[in-house]
Amino acid sequence: MTPDTRDKPAFELPGIVPWGRRLGEYSAFFALGDPMDFGPVLDIGAGPSSFAAEAHALGAPVVAADPLYRLSAGEIAHRFDETVDAMRAAMRRAAYRFNWAHYGSEENVLRLRREALALFTADYEAGRREGRYVEAALPVLPFADGTYRLALVSHLLFLYGDRLDFRFHLTSLRELLRVAEEVRVFPLLNLDGLPSSHLPGVMTALRAEGHGAELVEVPFEFQRGATRMLRLRRG
């Protein structure tokens, strides 16, 4: 049943926030297996996530891409710090929208975000020189056709459906299928905790173009009801 959000506190954020996640979180909500079987992987809209840094330390080939990567590590950390109070306030205001079983508390969420930021910033400058952090943004990517086996989109598409329209979603996913054999997107609910209105049309359009599109249950739930990812395969 779809949660009734009428007359309840809104989960409002000041734009698209640079809020990073760790490899273990990616593994859960993208249903990933052994890191050594990942690559090559593109993490698009990665922000200050440490997925690429942790994967690199394990020898797994991951490239992270984000328009934030025009900035220095210190500037990205400052952007993160600027969002902390707003994110904490939003989580408190709309705590009923979350399943706390995985994280336990708001403090643990923030701790993991700071851990991700620290791992990211420690790897960032070397990773930029090595081409593991690329300044890029959807819906147009600077990669050749079929560069990646897998592309991941964490907490961007569908979540920010009120800011990113249907056309942006469809164009972005077509672009991701151009550069990767498979695309996984999580979560599929918007910031109001409701199923994205863009999802059915996107799946219908991509299937009509010959691509595979399915919803897959994942072993993770933080935003209540966000228990599935979108998995696309190039047709």
Per-residue pLDDT reduced to its tens digit, 19-58: 899 999 999 999 998 877 777 999 999 999 999 999 999 9
Q: Which two tokens stand for residue 121?
A: 């910033």
In 3D, which of 183, 178, 175, 173 has the Cα closest to residue 151? 183
Q: At what angle do helices 166-179 and 199-208 cross, to 10 degrees?
A: 40
**Count of beta carbons in the 10 Å neighbourhood of residue 148:** 24
Distance of alpha carbon 198 from alpha carbon 222, whole angstroms = 21
pTM score, whole prediction: 0.91
Q: How many CA atoms lie within 13 A of 95 on its CB side?
A: 12
Beta strand pairing call for 62-65 and 133-134? parallel
Question: Is pLDDT of 2 > 90?
Answer: no
Q: Which two tokens stand for residue 169?
A: 């979603």
Q: How far is CA 71 from CA 36, 74, 81, 118, 224, in A?
A: 29, 8, 15, 16, 33
- Confidence band for 3, pLDDT divided at 50, 70 and 90: very low
- pLDDT at site 108: 92
**In terms of C-beta density within 10 A (0-12 exposed, 13-18 middle, 19 or more buried), how is residue 166 classed?**
middle
**Amino acid residing at 118:** A
Q: How far is CA 221 from CA 43, 84, 138, 177, in A?
A: 20, 22, 26, 26
- pLDDT digit string, tens, across residues 177-202: 999 999 999 999 998 889 999 999 99
- pLDDT digit string, tens, across residues 203-225: 999 999 999 999 999 999 999 99
Q: Which two tokens stand for residue 195?
A: 């199923």
Helices (H), 71-105: 73-93
- Cross-strand pairs, 214: 231
In 3D, which of 164, 162, 178 has the Cα closest to residue 45? 164
CATH class of residue range 23-233: alpha beta
